[in-house]
Amino acid sequence: MGTRILGILLLIAAGAMLGYAVGIGETRLGVVGAVTGVIASVMLAAVGLQGTRIIHRVVTPDDAGGRIISTEEAMSTQLRRCCKRNTPATVIVADSGIISQARFVSLGERSVTLDLFDYQGGFVDVLATICVAYYVRGRGCTFVATVEEFIPAGNDPIPRVRVRRPNCIATTERRRTLRVPIFPGAGLKVKMTSGAKSVEVKPHDASLAGLKVEVSSEIKFPQLKVDEQVQVEVVYRDLRVQTTATIRNVSQGRYYGLYFPDFVRGEEIVAPDAYRQILLGLEKAWATSMGITQADG
C-alpha cells in the first residue's frame, strides 16, 4: 500500500513538471499535468501497477477537460467502435518500455485484441502490463490493461496482443494528436521557408498534425503572423517529408506553432507513412533519453 501511495504522489508531481516542460513556459500546463497525474494514478491504483515511469509518455494533454469512463456500458460502446473502425493506437509495454504503433482488432466479452505493427521486442508475458493511447472523436483516451495472450508474428506477419478489458478509461479533450518532446541531440532537422527565405529552426515538440519550432533570435527571418503559410521540410535519419504548414500561434516573436492541414481530413489523421515513422523514432528516442526503456541497463 505504501509503495502504491508513493507511486501516486510521484505521478502527480511528474505530471505537473512534464506539463510545464512540454508547454514551453505556458504555466497553465503545470496544472493540467497535475490533473493528468491524478487520472493516471487512479488507473494505476485500479490495476495495481507498481511502476510509475510509463504513463506520462502517452497522457500529456495541452488543455484541461479530462474525465474517467468507468461504466461497463460506456467503455463497451467506445471499445466496440474502436474495433469496428480499426482505430490506430500507441502501445507501451510497461515491463520493457517498448513502444509500438497498433490498431484495435476485436472486442471480446472480457478482452480487447490489438495488432502491433512495428513491435520489435521479445515475447510479452501473460499478466504483463501495457498502456494503450488512442483518439476518439477528438478526445485523447488512455487505459492500462493486463496481457492475457501474446501472439508473435508467424503465419500472420503482424504480432497481436489480447488484453483484459480495462477497469476505466482516462480521457482528455481538444487535442487530437499526442505531442512528442524533442530533446537536444534527437537528430530531427526542420527547415522552414517563407517566400525566398529559408531557415533551419529548432523543433521543441512534434505531433501527427504539426510542430512547435523556434527561430533563433540571431537569424534574420520575416516576422510571421497567424494564418500565414510556410513550406516545411522535416528530416530524420533517412526519412524526409515536405509539406505546407499554417501558422497557428506565435509566441515571443520566435516560437511558432505549425499546423499541417494536408495531414488532417475532418477528424481523421492522414499523415504520410514517412512522417509517422519519424514520430515513432522520436518517441523511442525520447523514451530512451528519459530512462523508460531498459536498453541501457
- Give the pLDDT score at 16: 41
Please check whether residue 43 is in contact with residue 58, taking contact to mean a CB–CB distance below 8 angstroms.
Answer: no
1 compared with 253, residue with greater pLDDT:
253
Q: Which residue is it, cell 488512442?
A: 134
Give the span between the Cα atoms of 60 and 63, in whole angstroms. 9
For the four alpha carbons of 291, 204, 245 and 65, in that order, the dihedral sign comes to positive
Q: What is the pTM of this model?
A: 0.48
CATH 2.30.110.10 in the chain, residues? 2-175
* Mean of pLDDT values over 67-89: 91
Q: In this predicted structure, what is the pLDDT of residue 272? A: 92
Cα–Cα distance between 188 and 190 in angstroms, integer? 7
Residue pLDDT, tens place only, 251-281 = 888 899 999 999 988 767 889 999 989 988 8
Evaluate whether 279 touches 180 at the Cβ level (below 8 Å). yes
- Residue-averaged pLDDT of the chain: 76
Topology of the domain covering 2-175: Pnp Oxidase; Chain A (2.30.110)
Give the SS3 label for residue 153.
coil
Q: 180-287, what's its fold?
A: Thrombin, subunit H (2.40.10)
Q: Where in the chain is the domain with CATH 2.40.10.220?
A: 180-287
Q: Which three cell numbers stand for residue 81?
A: 467502435
